[in-house]
Structure 1
Amino acid sequence: MSDSENLVPPGAKIKVIGIGGGGGNAVNTMIRTGIEGVEFITANTDVQSLRFSLAERKIQIGKELTRGLGAGADPDIGRDAMLEDRHAISEALQGSNMVFVTAGMGGGTGTGGAAIAAQIAREQGALTVAVVTKPFAFEGKRRLKYAEEGIRRLEECVDTLITIPNQRLLEVSSPELSMIDAFRMADNVLVNAVKGISDIINVPGNLNVDFADVKTVMSSMGQALMGIGVGEGANRAKDAAQRAISSPLLEDVSIEGATGILINITANESLGIREVNEACSLIQEAAHEDAHIIFGTVI
């Protein structure tokens, strides 16, 4: 047997499970985007929504409880539906090294079910990361209240929780933005969060990061922040880093004091080592002086 035949396959077994309508929409966007090395699962009480899912594995939850008609924007029904089909979720997540749980918080199925899915993944020993959205202000105070309660429960069940405040996206967007495009923008941010982390593990670059590196930074870390920055021209890397640490997605908090940082630099083959140094140094200066920083490049 040759040396190449003895090599263990690279990367890690990563699964994304989208809970409810918002989670299912995000999964569809991820699949269309072409995220590499990830298995997609959707779970929903709403059979009609599941029919539109592009995921290779679709799970109807709460068949007895909801009869396939959804959770009626009631998180308690969403939780009970997930518990009813806990075994199916457990089976779908079996063997994962890392599980992303994604949902739009504020409704019924996602808000109530996300914490149960995360709990199952973590009990199986997977690094469990939740990436969820908080509702737009126009969706109403009750929905925001449900979202905040769901996020509190979810935080107890995950290693890392990334929350995307949809209202912040609205505040920095064009006044002509349509409602459909607003929700699409929120989906794209969820996609970038998952893709940014999974690509750094699965896509080869000049500075490779393995799953163990990511696990070191993300295990039992609680609330996390996500910043995205894009740069062009001579100072592209530094500009992108500056925009990432001052991103509107960071809501009312800053990177100052962060003790664990995961940096994904995506660029073409002309990326220089000096550019990488400038970008990482800028981020490191903004964080805690003893921060554990893991960074990789995707070329």
Structure 2
Amino acid sequence: MATFELMEKMAPNAVIKVVGVGGGGGNAVAHMVSSQVDGVEFITANTDSQAIKNCGAKLQLQLGSNVTKGLGAGANPEVGRQAALEDRERIMDALQGADMVFITAGMGGGTGTGAAPVVAQLAKEMGILTVAVVTKPFPFEGRRRMQVAMKGIEELSQHVDSLITIPNEKLITVLGRNATMIQAFRAANDVLQGAVQGIADLIVRPGLINVDFADVRTVMNEMGLAMMGTGAARGDDRAQAAAEAAIQNPLLDDVNLNGANGILVNITAGPDLTMAEFDEIGRVVGEFAAEDATVVIGTALDPDMQDEVKVTVVATGLNRNAVRQPVRNDFGYEPVRKPRPQMEIVPNVQEVKRDGTTGLPIDAVPANTFNPAQGLASGLRRGASSSSAGDSAAPQAADFGGADYLDIPAFLRRQAD
């Protein structure tokens, strides 16, 4: 028999820190500082003494003064790594007290590629929930830089709980070739901002029923591949449209989301949000969740959002074995269903009928943990169940002659038809 728990007040807020490593990571932090993201602390770490001054973070760490003399890592990841190791004690001091750390970096250069894995390893050794959001180089930056980036991402993946990768190449596809460089990099930075702000809102916003940080840790701890998307919609069927937009990601066309083991959902809407809409969002999310997935849902009420619903989804523990079509890599095409090294995700470009009215969530944050197989109505913050859904899991589509078509959520199949 399932047990339920109602929380009337929240324990002291969890401490979330964002560490921007290298030039790309510093730019991402500067973007978030200028956007006034609430509920987090910002840190920048760089080997370049000039670049670090422009990030706006309260705490700035110049790495490897003896190794680099403040002149940067010279696009050499080993120099970046040695610089971070030189200042490991200062890094640990900066991370002290954090419950969750986001590490952001541009992979392919020296400091971000070499130092980010060191920062992640130190955070994990301190027992901190560690999530990385990194970018891959543009193709025109050369094959060698891409190889360096991929090696760095592989190393980083060994030391984080969840990893989100943004391929800069896709920014051209999504935004169009006429987009300016400023627009492109702002879109990439928006991905980190969306993930951090969405999770911070779930954790730190006060309310009658709150998301416990332990729930977030359960969803993201040791989960590996992750994705994040945001969608917004107005009018009829706005809940379904917003939820579908959040998970219809152009970068995920060749990756199957079915079987996600952990899902965070943040719903922001006005006071006119109905229970039917709340349940509809859960139904859409449940289509690609594993039967025994942990799903944490928070709802922020914003009276300034008239007739609009915004949904942010973070899915973790994704099935790397279910690839729907061949994927282009540096060495040709990978065969269908070969495991992928990481998940790639898109900036927030999926808003539907959005007029620019946003505003930060300011009201109650109800939360639910539910079994997608039973629906949202099954209860609030569920505890241990008497039986494991995984013991009687339904056959996968791959059991039926490798029918990839059945791997696709129903609403995507309908659109394809």
Is 1:105 aligned to residue 113 of structure 2?
A: no
Query: Which letter does structure 2 place at the counterpart of 1:104?
Result: G
Deviating more after overlay: 199-208 vs 125-134: 199-208
The equivalent residue for 1:170 is 172
Query: Which letter does structure 1 place at the counterpart of 2:180?
Result: S
Is 1:51 aligned to residue 64 of structure 2?
A: no
Is 1:271 aligned to residue 276 of structure 2?
A: no
With normalisation by structure 2, the TM-score equals: 0.67
Aligned residue-pair number: 293
Partner of 1:231: helix, strand, or coil?
strand
Provide the aligned C-alpha RMSD in A: 1.7
With normalisation by structure 1, the TM-score equals: 0.93
The equivalent residue for 2:75 is 73
Partner of 2:182: helix, strand, or coil?
helix
Unpaired stretches in structure 2, ≥5 consecutive residues: 1-8, 302-417
Query: Which letter does structure 1 place at the counterpart of 2:298?
Result: G
The C-alpha deviation readout for 1:219-272, integer Å capped at 9, x for no partner, is: 111111222222222222211111122212436313111111111112233222
The equivalent residue for 1:209 is 211
1:297 to 296, 299, 302: 299
2:129 to 127, 130, 136: 127
User: Per the alignment, do residues 232 and 167 of structure 1 end up closer, same or farther by CA in structure 2, a change over 3 Å counting?
Assistant: farther
Partner of 2:154: helix, strand, or coil?
helix
Q: How much does 1:95 deviate? A: 1.3
Query: Which letter does structure 2 place at the counterpart of 1:42?
Result: T
Identity of aligned residues (%): 55
Unpaired stretches in structure 1, ≥5 consecutive residues: 1-6
Q: Is the 8 A contact 2:10 2:206 kept in 1?
A: no
User: Per the alignment, do residues 167 and 298 of structure 1 end up closer, same or farther by CA in structure 2, a change over 3 Å counting?
Assistant: farther
Q: How much does 1:284 deviate? A: 0.5
Q: Distance in 1 between matches of 2:254 and 2:83?
A: 34
Q: Distance in 1 between matches of 2:207 and 2:229?
A: 21
Deviating more after overlay: 171-180 vs 104-113: 171-180
The equivalent residue for 2:400 is none
The equivalent residue for 1:4 is none
Q: Is the 8 A contact 1:164 1:190 kept in 2?
A: no
The equivalent residue for 2:142 is 140
Query: Which letter does structure 2 place at the counterpart of 1:31?
Result: V
Which structure shows the higher helix fraction? 1
Give structure 1 regions of 4+ aligned residues with deviation exceeding 4 angstroms.
none
Deviating more after overlay: 155-164 vs 169-178: 169-178
1:221 to 223, 234, 238: 223
User: Per the alignment, do residues 205 and 137 of structure 1 end up closer, same or farther by CA in structure 2, a change over 3 Å counting?
Assistant: farther
Query: Which letter does structure 2 place at the counterpart of 1:262?
Result: L
User: Per the alignment, do residues 206 and 166 of structure 1 end up closer, same or farther by CA in structure 2, a change over 3 Å counting?
Assistant: farther
Partner of 1:172: helix, strand, or coil?
helix
User: Per the alignment, do residues 138 and 237 of structure 1 end up closer, same or farther by CA in structure 2, a change over 3 Å counting?
Assistant: farther
The equivalent residue for 2:19 is 17
Q: Is the 8 A contact 1:161 1:223 kept in 2?
A: yes
Q: Distance in 2 between matches of 1:289 and 1:269?
A: 31
Deviating more after overlay: 51-60 vs 197-206: 197-206
The equivalent residue for 2:282 is 280
User: Per the alignment, do residues 236 and 136 of structure 1 end up closer, same or farther by CA in structure 2, a change over 3 Å counting?
Assistant: farther
Q: Is the 8 A contact 2:23 2:106 kept in 1?
A: yes
Structure 1 or 2, whichever has the larger Rg, is 2
